[in-house]
Amino acid sequence: MASYFFKNARVVDPVTGLDGDRDVLVVNGIIDRIGENLSASDAQTLDFTGKTIAPGFCDMHVHFREPGQEYKEDILSGAASAAAGGFTAVACMPNTDPPIDNAAVATLILKRAEGLAVDVYPIGAVTKGRKGESIAPMIELRESGCVAFSDDGSPVYNTKVLRTALEYASMLDVPVIQHAEDPHLFKGGAMNESLVSTQIGLPPISRLSEDTVVVRDIAFTAYVDGRYHLAHMSTAGAAEAVRDAKQRGLKVTSEVAPHHFSLTDEALRSYDSNYKMNPPLRTAEDVLAMKEALRDGTADAIATDHAPHAIHEKEVEFVYAPFGIIGLETAFGLSVTELLLDGWLTLPQLIEKLSTNPRRILGLPVIRIEEGQPANFSLLDLAAQWTVDVNDFRSKSRNSPFHGRVLTGKPLGIFNNGQLILNN
């Protein structure tokens, strides 16, 4: 492996508490030296004056469509999109075709990701076929490399199944990640139930669909002393329930997607299906609640819910378009623009939610920027202003509502597994 010398970088590491200008020498993928006024004549030097090195970001919620729908995204294109977004690790949800409900599919994903700069971890299904009826072989899935369990895309709605899943996952020391949704309240809906849905005539989804399931799930988590993680939290009511659970000392965590702290359901007036996601965009009050949840620790992580769809699938009448948007390549810019610049989070707090906390929730080793540690970096330009152009994305898909938006904060690339990947 080559040697790389990052000169004059701002190094921010929430784990060690480091936040200062340093030179960083990486030899054979290992941090050889960190200090001030270092020299390294035999290494490739990169002038990082004004740039930032952070522990590699980890997105604990992506949908890579392999196996089954590789025309939308496969492991290679998904990993390339992650690297462009500054992520050195991702966890893939199991709603593939076939789903990740057996060791063979999990092993396939891990094999496809071998040798990549981005670490790819499968999340096993809670139930066979993600049908919500009978428990998947959770021990087999865990032993094959799955880092959590979820039926994401669908809820684990059957309470008996949920209880069993929480008990098994607790025994395996991993979380159950819940897509909190009451299917009866959700069925037929296309957007958040609000004044906007009434005015533009789109079928609504009540916030109660999310709120009531979260409250119910927390009761089960308390009863069995399980580990519960709420995916893509979107309502003020859900945030309040998670906040209360944390105050009671329950093992409950949550994540927020960038679109849920950046957009409101007012955007749906355009009838642009790139604003159609599940959970749906909520109200301005909910957006503020997500920001407050991130600030006070109710929300532990920022996760993209990266959900690629082909252009022809999204360019249909709104109610018939699939839910979901891509998010890996805009997550950092949105986080800086909406959270850092507006004072909701400090930079170390932002990095915790993009890197450290997702790894802790999934039981992965946290990244420490110290001599002797593997070099696992997100390379960042906090001051860069750029205009989102979906045509520049590494993802195979283009279904982003942020095309044309000016953001501050741009990933420059990543360093991981001995590989330096820089954006153009």
The 3-state secondary structure of 272-301, one letter per residue: CHHHCCCCCCCCHHHHHHHHHHHHHCCCCE
Residues 6+ away with beta carbon under 8 Å from 414: 56, 83, 86, 87, 88, 117, 118, 377, 378, 379, 420, 421
Q: Please provide residue 197's backbone torsions phi and psi, each rounded to the nearest 5 degrees.
A: -60, -35
Strand-pairing partners, residue 34, are 24
Q: How many residues does the chain have?
A: 424
Structure tokens at 146: 């799955």
List strand residue ranges (DSSP E) for 224-276, in order.
Answer: 228-230, 252-256
**Strand ranges of the sheet holding 87-92, from the earlier edge strand across to the other edge:** 57-62, 87-92, 119-122
Closest C-alpha to 234, from 177, 186, 192: 192
Six token digits for residue 188 = 């037929």
The catalytically annotated residue of 59, 305, 342, 381 is 305
Alpha-carbon span 307 to 138, nearest angstrom: 24
Candidates 80, 6, 69; CA nearest to 328 is 80
Angstrom distance (rounded) from CA 56 to CA 355? 6
Q: Is residue 305 annotated as part of the catalytic site, yes or no?
A: yes
H/E element, 33: strand 30-35
* Contacts of residue 313, Cβ cutoff 8 Å, sequence gap at least 6: 321, 322
Give the C-alpha separation, 296 to 396, whole Å. 36
Burial per residue of 154-170, b for 16 or more beta-carbon CB atoms within 10 angstroms, e otherwise? bbbbeeebbbbbbbbbb
**In 10 A of CB 35, how many CB atoms?**
10
Catalytic residue list: 305
